[in-house]
Every structure is written in C-alpha cells, then in structure tokens.
Structure 1
Amino acid sequence: MMLVAVLPWASSPVPPMKLCSGKRTASAMPLAAKKRSASSAHHPGRGRALTAATATAPASCHDDEQRPRLQTLDLLRFLEEDGWVEDQMLSLLTPVDEAWQPADLLPTFAVAAEEQRVQVAELQARAAGVPDELLVCLVGNMITEEGLPTYMTMGNRVGPAEGVTDATGRDGHGWARWLRGWTAEENRHGDLLNRYLYLCGRVDMRQVERTVHHLLRRGMSMTEPSCPYHASIYGAFQERATFVSHARTARRAALHGDACLAKLCGVIAGDEKRHEVAYTRVVARCFEADPDGVVRALAAVMRAKVTMPGERMTDGRDDSLFDHFSAVAQRAGVYTAADYGDMVEHFVRTWRVAGLQGLSGEGRRAQDYVCGLPRKIRRMEELAHDRAAQKEAQSVSISWVFDRPVRLH
C-alpha cells in the first residue's frame, strides 16, 4: 500500500505497509513532448500546457492562510478534464480479470483432502526455515496493509471538492476511480499475507489479529496538510518504501528456502512499484505546472515529522511495538535508514529538482534544502550506525512470535 519511511533525524526506519511488476513500468517522468503530442493527436485537448489560460494557478499547499485551500485543487481538476488521469494513472491499474488473487498463490481447497494436506504440509516445511526476525517484518508489513480502511479515508481528504474526491463512493471521475482501484489492488496484499501466516503455523495469529484490531480502532493522525502536492509526494515516498520492504522480504525468504513466501512478497512488491510510478507521475506533472509551489511542498514534507500509517500499532501490551518492529526491520536489512537517503536522492533526480528555474527566494531555499538532504541523511545514518555498534546486544519479546525474544540491535 503506502509506507515505510525513515525520518532524517531518526536512528531507525519507520517500516511500511502496504505489489508482479506490471507491464507499464516505464519512466516516472512520462510527460515528454513526444508523448504529449501523441496523446493530443488521439485525444483533442489532452496534453495541453497548463497555464493561467487553462486553469487557475494552484496555490502553494503549505501557504493556506494566504490563499484559499480549494484553489490548490484546480490542477487536479484540470488533469482530470484533460484526460491525463485516464492516460497516465488509470492505465497502471490491472484489469480485474488479469489480476492475481490470493487464492492463485496459496494451497487450494478445491482439490481432494489428501492433496490439501500435502500442499499445507509443504508450505509449513518451507516456512520452518524462516527466522523469527523475518517473520516479525512480515507480520508488521501485513498488519500495516490491513489498515487499508483508514488509508482509503485519508486518501479522500483533499476535498471536499467536486471532481477530485469520491463524494458519493461511486463517483465516475478519474481521481475517484483511481482511489477505488488503488484500494482494490491493495486489499489483496493484507489478505494474501494474512492467509500465509495463518497456514504456516509460525506465528500467534490471535495476537496478530488483536494488533490489527487495535490499529483500526486507534486510527491514524496524518499531520501533513490535506492538499494535492503534499498527498502525492507522500504517496510516492510511501509506495517506493513499501516496494523496497516487500522486495527485500522476498529475497530474504528465498535465501532461507521459502520459495512460496518469496513469490508472495514479490507479487506484492510488483503492485507497489506500479503504484509508485503513478504517484511519481502526478508529482512530475505538478512540477511542470507549478515548480515553485511543488518544491516548497516537497521541502515541507521532508521537514515534517510525517506520521506513518502503522505508527499507532500495539498488541494491547507493548505500546512500543511499532518501534520494535522498525528496529527489527533495520537490523534485518528489510528497510533501513540508508534506504531513506537513497529514496530522497532518487526522487530529487527523477523530478529534476536541481535543475528547476525561475523559483522564488523561498523556492530556491527549498530547492537547496532538498538537494542537500541525501548527503545529510547519510551522515546521520553513519553516526547512528556507529552508535548502534557500540551498544550491547538487546532483544525484546514479541507477542506475534509467541513471546520469543527477537534481537533489536
């Protein structure tokens, strides 16, 4: 779904949530002149340059006191009316008839009872070699994925605004269809991992289910302004982070001999990659229309202490459960502070932030800050790594694995 990010000042990463690579994993900067002219040829009016003549210039999202917040939605409306959402985002969603389903990847009960037992026994035999720390990472990822009802609600916070939010729950415009399509694809992730964990017999499913229950009851406090720039930037980072986490889990599962788990995490990572491409495209298009506003929004997101979707995770006993999950993921190499620095550098390069021209004074300061951030993050990660190396080994009992101790550092 969305989500694992390490804060620049944090010593450990904040793990993710919520996919087999889709056919469309092309450049995350899809708006080249050739593509625009081709789109315009087939769809009159599409691919037009966004100017004051075609839409009101969007306000900088973090400057809501000076300019009405709803004005920031003009760009999204324009992209919908221009056909851009249909061409560049909805095309990344897999048709239902072509999409994988959890039942395709796990033991089936549509066979004779003996064959069922054989399939489950084979899954459990492979899972027996998976170490507890990787199981903790897997459970944490699954629980975060299961928070999808909260995330769909958060994804509808850029309104209320006609043509942008899903006001009725079945609106036909592109943004509403994207939100529902994204949710439908993400919904399979928690289902798939949940069923694997249940069948493998390696975790305490009641404690896992209690944690999901707590997470949904406690909700999520998203401190970022509910505006298009911040939300799309946040989405791009989260989707890339979850792609990294699921892909790493897949590789480590394969190393420990569980080919089934490796495949499950691999197909989830493929979905996350497609979703990352979609949000990356949105931000790239916004940069074309309003570079000053978007670079300031990007800097604001980087400076903010962004609340991660699973941060309020608890099993009812351990209120630091999310921190422990994050520390285990860091030590296991599933998602690390260094990954966050790589991610910031990736987006700075992909969105061509260093080459932006015509910025205001505040925009230039934001540009300098963002472009210098990867280097700062890496320095801080090195210091955190050195401090961790000097600490004594520490373990904590985690209820998900029957209170067995799992090493944090």
Structure 2
Amino acid sequence: MTTAPAVRAGSGWSDTQLLHALEEVVETELNRHLKAAKEWMPHEYVPWSQGRDFDGVMGGEAWSPEQSKVTEIGRTALVVNLLTEDNLPSYHHEIATLFGRDGAWGTWVHRWTAEEGRHAIVMRDYLLTTRAVDPVALERFRMEHMCAGFQSDNRHSVLHSVAYVAFQELATRVSHRNTGHHCGDPVADRMLARIATDENLHMVFYRNLLAAALELAPDQAMRAIADVVTAFRMPGHGIPGFERAAARMAIGGIYNLRIHQDDVLQPVLRHLKSLQLEGLGPEGQQAQEELGLYLDGLEAQAVRFDERREALLARKAARG
C-alpha cells in the first residue's frame, strides 16, 4: 500500500483537492504498474489457421452453432465479456473527464485505455476465427450497446469512481478467468488468462489508490466504498439481453452472488481493512455500519442462491 501525502483540507475534500493530493500516489502506482506489466501481442493468442470466409461479400460459409467447440455457457460469457470491453470509448471518456488528461493521472488514463483495448481486439479475433459466435448477431449487439453509451452510477465523484473500479476490475478478472475454465477450449482459456492478468494489475492500481484515499479522507472514502458496494452493477449491464445472459452465467458458475461475495468484495475489503478501520467520524462510522449490514444480508442471499443452484443442477443431472 502506498501512503498518501500528509495534506489536510478542512472537514471535507473537493474532487479537485483530492486529485492534487493523490497525484503523488498515482505516479508511484503508475511506475509500479509499468514495471510489473508485460508486453503481449493479441495476434499471438488467436488460432488463425482455423479461420475461413463467412457468407456475404466473400461468398464463404454461413455460421452455425455446431461449427464451434466452445460450450454454450462459454459462448454466452464470451459475448458478454467482449461487448463489455467494446464500450471502452465511453469508459475512457468517463475517467478522462473526471481524472483529467494531464500529469500522472492523464498518463495512467491513457495507459489503462491502451491496455484495455487489447482485450476486445483479441477476443473478437478469437471468436470470429474459431466461429464461436454468430458474427451478424455480435455486430448488431455491438452497435446497439455502443450507441447507448455508458454512464457511471457513481455520482461522478473521484472517490466513488476509484472505489467502483477497484471492485469492478477484480470482478472483470474473475469473470474472464471463470469463462476460460468453462468454455471448453484451451486456446480460449489461455487467452482469457492473459486478459485476466491485465485486469488484476489494474485492480491493484485502483485498490492501492483507494487505500491511500482512506488514509487521506477516511470518512469520505468509507462513504464511497459503502455506496459502491451496496449498489454495485457490472459496466456491461446495458448490453442487450444482459439479465438473461447474467442468469445463465450465474447458474453456469461464471459469475454469481457467491462469487461476487467471496472472490470480489471480500478480498478488496479485507485488504483495505474496511470493517476494522478505526478513528472514523460520524459519517464514516455510519457508512461502515451500513457496509457491514449489507454484507451480512448479501451472505444470506448467497446461501439461498447456492441452495437453489445446487437443486437446479441436480434436477438437470437427473434428467440427463
């Protein structure tokens, strides 16, 4: 964890004050990230020899589901993951507007965007080359999703946005990794593992920045954490048919309440010691209490989901 500069600004911090106060932390984390990140080439993860022409102007073969070795749940998750990555221009606009384009903040924003751009490139090339997805339906979904754009749920506050991406980057990493495990193709599994490595480094950047914000402005940061955790939605929630796809992914073990609780929320909150943090003012204490109560309720929901999922899978196994 990087320690924030010892700067104070009355009882509360404006976004502008926070951006300036955290600049040194951003620079430190950026340098750490650049040392840890490894260059990789999207084209090296695509089995180009499997490719052939589609129907249309090239006069090739029309797509059909049996042409792919990817499982049905793998196809659903890959499409959701790709369409989420496709909205990168909207995400870039959001964070560049909030964090700025100058100094260490700006350098990070552009670096993050460049690294994230690889993910959509390699996933789309893989899906089309291996005929894992209907190319016409995929393009129509992409157009609809990107034309709708993306607007953050997080009040356009620096601390809310930092808190959101700390959890969201880990959620995306987990979703990619679990998709690889369930897709039935070792080539896709290797590709998604490579993407997940990027997402994990991005999570560490934002998690460490959030830890510094907790030292700098503990009450405001705790309020942001509680707000984000209790109202969390994945950035791809606007994808056409997202709720149906998310339900399939939940049952299929890609991403569900249990995974969200155990593999996303708890690791970040434990690292930050969010529920153990002392010395908070009234606002921070209230946010901390809300967070604890919410997590208790979420655990109860996750237990019920686990029971329903196990019963459903048992019925399917009995029929099969």
Q: Where on the TM-score scale, by shorter chain, does this alignment land: which range?
A: 0.7 to 0.9
Q: Secondary structure at the match of 2:238?
A: coil
Q: Secondary structure at the match of 1:129?
A: coil
1:57 and 1:205 mapped to 2: Cα distance?
56
Match of 2:100 among 165, 168, 171: 165
TM-score (norm 1): 0.68
Contact 2:275 2:292 in 1 (8 A): yes
1:369 and 2:290 correspond: yes
Contact 1:344 1:373 in 2 (8 A): no
In structure 2, the residue matched to 1:215 is 145
Q: Structure 2: which 5+ runs fail to align? A: 53-66, 316-320
CA shift, 1:231, in A, is 0.2
Residue 202 of structure 2 aligns to which amino acid in structure 1? Answer: H
Deviations 1:32-69 (A, max 9, x none): xxxxxxxxxxxxxxx6x4233xxx35736xxxxxxxxx
Residue 266 of structure 1 aligns to which amino acid in structure 2? Answer: A
Residue 333 of structure 1 aligns to which amino acid in structure 2? Answer: G
Q: 1:352 to 1:95 in 2, by over 3 A?
A: closer
Q: Structure 1: which 5+ runs fail to align? A: 1-28, 32-46, 61-70, 109-115, 122-126, 159-163, 315-320, 395-409
In structure 1, the residue matched to 2:62 is none
1:179 and 2:116 correspond: no
1:263 and 2:206 correspond: no
Residue 22 of structure 2 aligns to which amino acid in structure 1? Answer: L
Contact 2:179 2:254 in 1 (8 A): yes
In structure 1, the residue matched to 2:172 is 242
Deviations 1:288-318 (A, max 9, x none): 11111111121122333x453222222xxxx
Greater percentage in helix? 2
Q: Secondary structure at the match of 2:22?
A: helix
Contact 1:58 1:72 in 2 (8 A): no
Contact 1:337 1:381 in 2 (8 A): yes
CA shift, 1:373, in A, is 3.2
CA shift, 1:201, in A, is 1.3
Contact 1:85 1:174 in 2 (8 A): yes
2:234 and 2:313 mapped to 1: Cα distance?
28
1:78 and 2:21 correspond: yes
2:68 and 2:78 mapped to 1: Cα distance?
14
In structure 2, the residue matched to 1:36 is none
Contact 2:2 2:25 in 1 (8 A): no
Q: 1:146 to 1:94 in 2, by over 3 A?
A: farther
Contact 1:137 1:325 in 2 (8 A): yes
Q: Secondary structure at the match of 1:353?
A: coil
In structure 2, the residue matched to 1:89 is 30
Deviations 1:353-395 (A, max 9, x none): 233222222321211222343332110122244456677999x
Contact 1:58 1:75 in 2 (8 A): no
1:105 and 1:340 mapped to 2: Cα distance?
28
Q: Aligned-residue CA RMSD in angstroms?
A: 2.7
TM-score (norm 2): 0.85
Aligned-residue sequence identity (percent) comes to 28
Contact 2:7 2:21 in 1 (8 A): no
Match of 1:309 among 218, 227, 235: 235
Residue 249 of structure 2 aligns to which amino acid in structure 1? Answer: A
Residue 59 of structure 1 aligns to which amino acid in structure 2? Answer: G
CA shift, 1:103, in A, is 1.2
Q: 1:252 to 1:89 in 2, by over 3 A?
A: same
In structure 1, the residue matched to 2:7 is 51
Q: Which has the higher contact order (CA 8 A, sep 6+)?
A: 1
Contact 2:160 2:225 in 1 (8 A): yes
In structure 2, the residue matched to 1:284 is 211
Residue 271 of structure 2 aligns to which amino acid in structure 1? Answer: T
